[in-house]
Structure 1
Amino acid sequence: MDDEFWISELTDDDVPAVVALCGVALDLPEDAAEAAEIVLRLRETTGTEGWSRTPRRLTGFVAVRPGNEVIGVVLGSVSHRDPSIGHVDLIAVDPRERRRGVGRALLARVEGALAGLGAGDVVLAGNAPYYAWPGIDVRYTPAVCAAMALGFEQDQQPAWNMTVQLTETPEPQIAPGVTVRRAALDDVPMLIAFALANFGEGWAGEIAHSVGRARAGCHVAFDKDGAMLGFAAYGSSRPSWFGPMGTDPAARGLGIGNLLLHRCLADQRAEGHDRVQIGWVGPLPFYAKAVGARVERVFLQYRKQL
């Protein structure tokens, strides 16, 4: 096979070819099935007004063979929390073109671009709220090996997803005086304020992105006086993923989170999903008890100084 290829900056015109490439280059079926959503989410340049103090800065490149065939892609972004950190959000190479230096060349170009945007470190980790994975799934063994060979070191503890098999179940009960309903667009400012006060910018952006969009949604709980007590969202990063979810610390123990979770999972089941990933999980015991979720996907995060 001809070894010739070149690297060029990603343009909007390349996106359909990149989506098609990811459909075959993402080895896990659940990732390949959502290739379009993954690429479009990572390519978003602006979020809902009010949650982020800094604009989203992106970079991306494609590897191209003669005939303008796209054989590889890399997408990167600068952290909205710390502009000195650059994220590699996606790197994919056509299986027929691997072990030819394509991935290495793409990574070198995106590292240079991220450095040009002011990054001093580059991480292979999700840049919430615009992410498709928390890090590298351990089942992508070639990617793990490549990260180690290219000078990356494991950073932080592994992250994980839990899987829920969706079945029709009765809704749990909550304390008297608590009401739960689906969030509307008019609720977004209040949701953002609640998330910023209790959980930070990443969750604020994910919640905002889940309201009023196809294949996504959010449910909210209020007390009898109309004060927000908690929320649960789904579809923000990917249609088959649940999260984030949060309850006011003073309102925990009332069954709010359990009901919000069940409402979201019922929505996802109605949309045709038979299983859902709870993304980047924190409280494993809660989800295991509430819906029988089990740890399935484990992600490693890597860092390298530029």
Structure 2
Amino acid sequence: MDDEFWISELTDDDVPAVVALCRAALDLPEDAAEAAEIVSRLRDTAGTEGWSGGIRRITGFIALRPAEGPGRGRIIGVVLGSVSHRDASVGHIDLIAVHPQERRRGVGRALVARVEGALAGLGAGDVVIAGNAPYYAWPGIDVRCTPAVCAAMALGFEQDQPAWNMTANLTDPVAEPPVPEGVTVRRATAEDVPALVDFALTTFGAGWAGEITHSVGRERAGCHVAFDKTGGILGFAAYGSSRPSWFGPMGTAPAARGLGIGNLLLRRCLADQRTDGHDSVQIGWVGPLSFYSKAVAARVERVFLPYRKQL
């Protein structure tokens, strides 16, 4: 503790105040609007068993100033970190936010130092400012958040390969192409999850299983699936797993590509999100740029810079 603020471990009782802080502190309006979902997604997955067999472990701290009157103090900053079940040697800084009136006073530096120590205690040798898929809010630091980029560099982090989102405009109704002959498309239910996870693991690897699981049966989220005549899965598309306004992941079986299944699944998800009140959607952490550009005229818009440092 110093004369101005101190760092304390984040508790469940602090979450409402942390959400309020993030609404004020996240620099981009689209992020501030989803502060509650971001904090929930990053915290609620603690202890989740990954499909690779490991356990997701999280840590979090808040910075406080003395309150005027009784109380624990006024929250002026927060940091959340985690260790992925996929690589226990890498710690992630998932969220850091400092109230605009409290910046340039050492709050962010103190929070980062505390979470780095906690991640090292959990076995991490490196720390990254990057999305800890499948439970993340950003792939890295948005390039428009200049103060955050400068802070990462000042704290000794080195930039890694950029990642990007694409934006799909939902102002107009989403037209749906015909369903290919012999194909059935419907919304996924909880009963479909084991088969979907097996399909994702077999076809694409371990990265998407958690996102599929957390898109089915949740409010403001969903997943659509395409089946062949025998009930075999041909492809899926999900949305809302990380944030309500984000689409993904999506995958089609190699043998079924070229039939228009991916386009159909994508459009069904976007139609759901439009119904939910979104006039645009972020296609998160995109790989196939040309597919989304051609399918729904999506454009690259948000670019993120991941950062890494050895502890």
Shorter-chain TM-score category? Answer: over 0.9
Mean Cα displacement is larger for which, 167-176 or 53-62?
167-176
Residues 1-12 of structure 1 correspond to what in structure 2 (within 5 A)?
4-12=4-12
Counterpart for residue 20 of structure 1: 20
Q: What's the Cα RMSD here?
A: 1.4
Q: Matches of 1:154 and 1:26 in 2, distance apart?
A: 21
Residue by residue over 1:112-171, the C-alpha shift from the partner in whole angstroms, topping out at 9 and shown as x without a partner, is 00000000000000001110000000011111001111110012x210001111121321
Distance change in 2, residues 1:50/1:240 (3 Å): same
Residue by residue over 1:12-64, the C-alpha shift from the partner in whole angstroms, topping out at 9 and shown as x without a partner, is 01101100000000010000000000001000235776735111100000000
1:85 to 86, 90, 102: 90
1:159 aligns with 2:163: yes
Counterpart for residue 65 of structure 1: 65
Q: CA deviation at 1:223?
A: 0.8
Residue by residue over 1:237-262, the C-alpha shift from the partner in whole angstroms, topping out at 9 and shown as x without a partner, is 00000000000111100100000000
1:178 aligns with 2:183: yes
Q: Matches of 1:22 and 1:55 in 2, distance apart?
A: 27
> Contact between 2:179 and 2:185, CA under 8 Å: does it hold in 1?
no
One-letter identity of the residue aligned with 1:43? R
Mean Cα displacement is larger for which, 160-169 or 205-214?
160-169
**SS where residue 210 of structure 1 aligns?**
coil
> Contact between 1:161 and 1:281, CA under 8 Å: does it hold in 2?
yes
TM-score (norm 2): 0.95
One-letter identity of the residue aligned with 1:143? A
Q: Matches of 1:80 and 1:137 in 2, distance apart?
A: 25
1:279 aligns with 2:281: no
Counterpart for residue 143 of structure 2: 138
Counterpart for residue 35 of structure 1: 35
Paired residues in the alignment total 304
TM-score (norm 1): 0.97
Q: Matches of 1:101 and 1:107 in 2, distance apart?
A: 10
Q: Matches of 2:45 and 2:296 in 1, distance apart?
A: 35
Counterpart for residue 96 of structure 1: 101
Structure 2: unaligned runs, 5 residues or longer: 68-72
Q: Which runs of 4+ in 1 moved over 2 A?
A: 45-52
